[in-house]
Amino acid sequence: MVITGKLSDLKKVTNGSLFSDKAATAEFTGLSIDTRTIADGNLFVAIKGELDDGHKYLRHAFDKGAGACVVQSGYEEHLPAEYRDRCLIVNDTQKGLRQIALWWKDKFNPRYIAVTGTNGKTTTKEMIADVLAQKYNVFRSPGNYNNLFGIPLSLALLNDSYEICVLEFGMSFPGEIEALTSMVKPQVALITNIGPAHLETMGTIENIARAKFELLDHIDADSIRVLNLDDALLKARFDKEPEPKLGYAVRADAQVRPTGFSSNSLGRIIFQYQGGEIHLKVPGLHTLYNALASCAVARIFEVEFEGVRTALQSYKGKSSRMEILELSGITVIDDSYNANPTSMGYALKALSQMQAKGRKIAILGDMRELGEDEIELHHDVGSIVAEINPDRLITAGRLGMHIAAGANVNGYDSSRTETFMTAEEVIEAMLPEIRDGDQILIKASRAMQFEKIVRAFKKKQEVRS
C-alpha cells in the first residue's frame, strides 16, 4: 500500500481550495512530481523549481493517467479545463508536498532512523536497512531520495507493515536538514563524517558541520545520537552531546569498535567484532566505517551478531560506488557516481591496498562545487596520488589537471601522467593502451560523466571475450 486518498482529505491538511465541489471526491493512489515516472492513478504535485515548472506538464500528467493534481495558486491557467474537477490549489506546492507526506506519515508508527554526513550516506543507509531486516520489517528511502522532495516521496510509500524506516538526509544549503528533521522526527540520528563538499554554497567546513549538526539540534531529547568518533568534528560534538548517545570508530575509543581488521587482495576488509569475523564485499577502509555504523544501530535495536554478519557479508554495494567489475583481463573499480576530496582519498587508498597482476591506473576527474579552494583541494588529491604511487595517472577536466599538478609537485613521475578535458578524450586515448592485468580506478563528480568511460571499457572487453 502507498499513499491513497481523496482531494477532500488534502484540502484540510494543506488549507487549500478546490476548483469545484466535485473535485472533493477525486481519488488518487501514489504520489509523483515527475511526469516521466508517473503511474496510473497518481497524485501529481506541480512543483515550480529554479530550472523548470511542473505546471507546464499538467496535461501530460493526466494523459499518462494521473488521478488528481495539486497546483500553486496563480498557475491555474496551466490546468486544462477538462481536468479542473480533479485539482487542488495551494499557496505553495513545495510546502504542500511536505504537508501531504506528513498527513500520510502520521497514519503509521514505525521507528525512524536518519543518516547524514558528507560521505557514505547511501551505503550506510543500505547496510543499516539490511542488518535490521534480519529482525524487522524495514522501509528504506529509494536510491538517493534524500532532500526536501525525495523524503516526502519516500514517506508516501509507507504502510502499516513497516516497523522501522531508514532515511538518508542530504544537504545542499543551510536549513535543509533542519526541515527534514522536523518533518521526520527520527528516534536515531546518525552522522557518518564531515568533509569538504558543497563548499561553493557552504563556504567552509565549519558551515558544513553546522548544517549537518541541524540533525542533532532538532531531534527530541530522548532520540539516540550515533556518531563516528574518528572524525574530529564529530568527536568534539559527541563529547558535548547528552545521553543517549553511541559512538563508533576504528581507532578512537568507542562503544562500537572492531578488535582487529585486515584487507584481502581486492582491498576488501575483514574485521573482528563481538568475538566473530565479518568479511565485507565492497573494498576500502571507508566501507568498514559504514559497516560499523550499522553495527551501532544493530546494537540499539538488539540484532544479534549472526544477523549482522549475514547482512554485511551479503552486501554487494550500489552501482558505480566502489563497484568492482571483473572484465575480460582487467579489473575496473567503478566509483564514478560522484566525488569530493574525502571520497577521492578513500578510493585512492583502497586502490593502494589492492593487489594487481598488471598496472594500477587512476583515472580521476573534476570534483565540483568546492568553491574558492577548488584548486588547492585538487592539489591535495594529487599529493595522495603521489603517496600511493599508481603506475599511471590520467586526469580529465579543467580542475582534474590540478590533481596531476599536485601529484607531480609531490614527486610523482610526470612521464606517467596524462591530462585531458573530457571523458571522451580519455576513452579515445586509453582504450588502445589497456593491457591484461590492469586495475583501473575511475572516479569524478557526476558532471564529468565518467560512467561513459566505464561503459567503454565494458564494451571493449565484451568484444575481446
pTM of the full structure: 0.92
Strands 360-365, 392-396: pairing kind: parallel
**How far apart are alpha carbons 68 and 125 in whole angstroms?**
33
Residue pair 164/114 in contact by the 8 Å Cβ criterion: no
Domains of the chain with bracketed CATH: 4-92 (3.40.1390.10), 108-314 (3.40.1190.10), 323-464 (3.90.190.20)
The one-digit pLDDT tens for each residue of the chain (465 residues) are 899 999 999 999 999 999 888 999 999 999 999 999 999 999 999 998 888 999 999 999 999 999 999 999 998 777 888 889 999 999 999 999 999 999 999 999 999 999 999 999 999 999 999 999 999 999 999 988 999 999 999 999 999 999 999 999 999 899 999 999 999 999 999 999 999 888 778 889 999 999 999 999 999 999 999 999 999 999 999 999 999 999 999 999 999 999 999 999 889 999 999 999 999 999 999 999 999 999 999 999 999 999 999 999 999 998 999 999 998 889 999 999 999 999 999 999 999 999 989 999 999 999 999 999 999 999 999 999 999 999 999 999 999 999 999 999 999 999 999 999 999 999 999 999 999 999 999 999 999 999 999 999 998 776 443
**How far apart are alpha carbons 441 and 362 in whole angstroms?**
5
Residue pair 167/115 in contact by the 8 Å Cβ criterion: yes
* DSSP track, 278-297: EEEEEESHHHHHHHHHHHHH
Output the 3-class SS for 27-50: EEECEECCCCCCCCCCEEECCECC
Residue in this structure with the C-alpha cell 573482528, named with its chain if needed: 272
345: its cell numbers: 582519498
92: its cell numbers: 505553495
User: Who contacts 23 (Cβ-Cβ below 8 Å, separation ≥6)?
Assistant: 7, 68, 84, 85, 86, 87, 88
Instruction: Kindly report the number of other CB atoms within 10 A of residue 307's CB atom.
Output: 17
- Distances in Å between the Cα of 145 and the Cα atoms of 13, 53, 98, 169 are 23, 20, 14, 8
| Coil, strand or helix at 407 | helix
